[in-house]
């Protein structure tokens, strides 16, 4: 059975046919027969802020400018009032340089690293809770009919995951429409790409929902909240600290979203239950071909 999905409604959709993102590798299967399969490419990308090297991330290599901007923004190295003069990507050197109009606090930030449970870029900075104390997220409502539509659309969209696996996705959504779908070997990279796109395009967060294919950890919740997005949803589950922080900042946290089933552990007051859940469950073929990883 083939999965069909119209990606025309996306502003940015996955590009599973891009030859730079996967390669074919020959091996043997469980029967000892030779088989050929697609595997995801990994490339190092070194991010500079002005003249300072900040981090080298392992990434699939698409949208490096968005990744760099989003990473620096989500780590608090780019403040909202700072002006980004330009972003320069050198494909040969595998570097991206973000240049701003003022001084930065990278030296102080780099001294306060904290290891995380995340993929690829496995550290955040020790003051990651900074900025949450006075945070007030919008009271935007979420229709359950939109959740069900998003779950169906996202999980059947042609993607690198369906082509090769071993990858995470993050989707910026508005109502029942997915807008920007980013993939990467680390779920935090995928979120940072979305954040970078939002910053580059001046896209507001107040009426948006962020869908992630990975588990909802403390850092995922913090990133979503600091981006100003009031709703975080996932096919996967939660961590206790992630739930605690979501409740602290009044972020709506929706997990285990499969078909027309979900669990909301924070911010249920935003939900508008305008669709009666179906009693049908996903069949194994749908789960195998369309499901995201837990």
CATH architecture of 142-290: 3-Layer(aba) Sandwich (3.40)
How far apart CA 63 and CA 123 sit, in angstroms, is: 21
3-state secondary structure of 8: helix
Q: How far is CA 194 from CA 10, 34, 109, 210, in A?
A: 13, 39, 22, 9
pLDDT exceeds 90 at position 292: no
- Only one residue has tokens 């993050």, namely 170
Is the domain 43-125 a CATH 3.40.1010.10 member?
no
Pairing of strands 142-143, 177-184: unpaired
Tens digits of residue pLDDT in 119-136? 544 445 445 667 788 889
**In sequence order, which residues have a C-beta less than 8 Å from that of residue 129 and are 6 or more positions away?**
222
Contact 235, 259 (CB under 8 A): no
Average pLDDT for 230-253: 97
- Helices then strands, counting H and E runs in the chain, come out as 8, 16
pTM: 0.86
Domain ranges in the chain?
A: 43-125, 142-290
What pLDDT does residue 5 have? 58
Residue ranges in the chain assigned as alpha helix (H): 64-74, 106-110, 144-155, 160-164, 187-201, 218-226, 240-249, 284-290
Average pLDDT for 267-291: 68
Q: Supply the mean pLDDT for the chain.
A: 87
């Amino acid at each position: 059975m083939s999965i069909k999905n119209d990606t025309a409604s996306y502003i940015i959709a996955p590009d599973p046919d891009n030859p730079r993102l996967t390669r074919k590798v020959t091996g043997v299967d469980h029967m000892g027969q030779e088989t050929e399969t697609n595997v995801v490419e990994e490339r190092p990308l070194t991010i500079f802020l002005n003249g300072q090297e900040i981090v080298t991330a392992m990434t699939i290599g698409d949208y490096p400018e968005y990744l760099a901007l989003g990473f620096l923004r989500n780590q608090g190295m780019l403040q909202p009032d700072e002006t980004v003069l330009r972003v320069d990507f050198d494909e040969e050197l595998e570097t991206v340089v973000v240049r701003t109009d003022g001084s930065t606090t990278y030296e102080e930030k780099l001294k306060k690293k904290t290891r995380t449970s995340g993929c690829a870029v496995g550290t955040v900075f020790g003051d990651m809770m900074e900025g949450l104390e006075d945070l007030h997220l919008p009271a935007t409502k979420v229709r359950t009919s939109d959740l069900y539509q998003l779950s169906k659309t996202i999980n059947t969209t042609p993607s690198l995951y369906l082509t090769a696996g071993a990858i995470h996705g993050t989707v910026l959504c508005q109502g029942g429409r997915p807008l920007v779908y980013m993939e990467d070997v680390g779920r935090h990279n995928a979120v940072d790409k979305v954040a970078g796109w939002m910053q580059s395009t001046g896209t507001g967060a107040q009426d948006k929902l962020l869908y992630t294919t990975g588990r909802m950890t403390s850092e995922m919740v913090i990133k979503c909240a600091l981006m100003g997005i009031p709703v975080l949803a996932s096919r996967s589950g939660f961590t206790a600290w992630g739930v605690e922080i979501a409740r602290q900042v009044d972020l709506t946290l929706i997990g285990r979203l499969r078909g027309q089933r979900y669990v909301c552990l924070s911010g249920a007051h935003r939900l508008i239950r305008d669709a009666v859940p179906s009693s049908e469950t996903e069949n194994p073929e749908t789960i195998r071909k369309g499901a995201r990883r837990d």
